[in-house]
Amino acid sequence: MRSRLGYIAQLGIELKSATTQVISILFTLAGELSSIRAALSQLERPLNGEHEHFLLEDPTGRLFPVYLRTVTSWEGFEFLLADRLKGKKGARRILRKRYVLKERATHRKVDRSKDWDAAFLPYQRVDMSLLCREHLPAPSETAWLSSCPRCFTVNSSYSSGGESQCQNCNMHYQRVLELDEEDKNESAIAVSGEELGNKSDSTTGSNSPDLDDSDEEDVNGLVRVVLVNLKTFTPRMRISRGSEKKFKNIE
């Protein structure tokens, strides 16, 4: 009887010790989480009165400043994006870098290969477009080229290869053709009516690079998108004027 009581007493002591350790770990984790929250708030606020920043409009139309004093690298920028867009439309694609950044004033694409310090200037406006998958239509459906991907309104001022804005719902969109080759991530050409006419030369890419997100084709709730179609490049494929120089060595 006494041995049982001793065993129970010893078990109680060990349980108390284990509980104390768990509580200590929880307090430590709480402190670490507080530090992370403080770090995140630092990313969105300037330090010591420093206000140099650029304005970023995300694919859903939300505008927020990115302070160049506190965000000092592409990694820090991506960490900020992941925090701000967590659980929102297109968050997984943004984590996979399936987006395009353009300076609003010049419409020039921001080159991610540049050093962070050279990529952005203070007080400039930068637009982020989300890459979305779109099925290549039949060659006869030429109206598809200029139609809005959200409301399907045909844009009378559509320019092949350039960004267009829907006159009905104000969505900004651009259609590109991504080559189904090893270097397709570095090569994209604008879809033109001529290319759609060569059905025999075009196939929908079966080796699509990780395009399995459930919302990959969903443009609802977005204001800026780049619509991507996969197509195998062949020497016979005609290229839109703006891309002739870029692909002249491929043939």
> In this model, does residue 89 exceed pLDDT 60?
yes
**Closest C-alpha among 176, 205, 170, 195 to residue 100:** 176
String of DSSP letters for 168-235: TT--EEEEEEEE-STTGGG-EEE--HHHHH-GGG----SS-SS---TTTT--TT-SEEEEEEEE---T
E strand map for 36-181: 53-57, 63-67, 99-103, 125-133, 164-165, 172-179
Question: How far apart are alpha carbons 78 and 82 in whole angstroms?
Answer: 6
Tell me the pTM. Answer: 0.57
> In this model, does residue 197 exceed pLDDT 50?
no
Look up tokens 């053709």; give the residue. Answer: 177
Q: State both tokens at 19.
A: 């509980």
Q: In terms of CATH architecture, what is 50-128?
A: Roll (3.10)
Tens of pLDDT along 210-243? Answer: 444 456 778 888 889 988 876 543 343 333 344 3
- Decide which of 15 and 190 is more confident: 15
pLDDT for res 176: 81
> In this model, does residue 92 exceed pLDDT 80?
yes
> In this model, does residue 80 exceed pLDDT 50?
yes
> In this model, does residue 248 exceed pLDDT 50?
no
Positive or negative: CA dihedral 130, 124, 158, 242: negative
Alpha-helical (H) ranges within 45-201 are 74-84, 91-95, 116-119, 193-197
Q: State both tokens at 89.
A: 């439309």
- Decide which of 39 and 221 is more confident: 221
- Decide which of 57 and 208 is more confident: 57
Q: Please give the single-letter amino acid code of residue 49.
A: G
Question: How far apart are alpha carbons 146 and 236 in whole angstroms?
Answer: 24
> In this model, does residue 107 exceed pLDDT 80?
yes
Evaluate whether 58 touches 84 at the Cβ level (below 8 Å). Answer: yes
Evaluate whether 71 touches 43 at the Cβ level (below 8 Å). Answer: yes
Domain ranges of the chain: 1-38, 50-128, 134-251
> In this model, does residue 152 exceed pLDDT 80?
yes
Please name every residue paired with 128 in a beta bridge, in sequence order, or none if there are none.
101
| Mean pLDDT of the region 144-152 | 83
**Closest C-alpha among 92, 128, 134 to residue 112:** 128
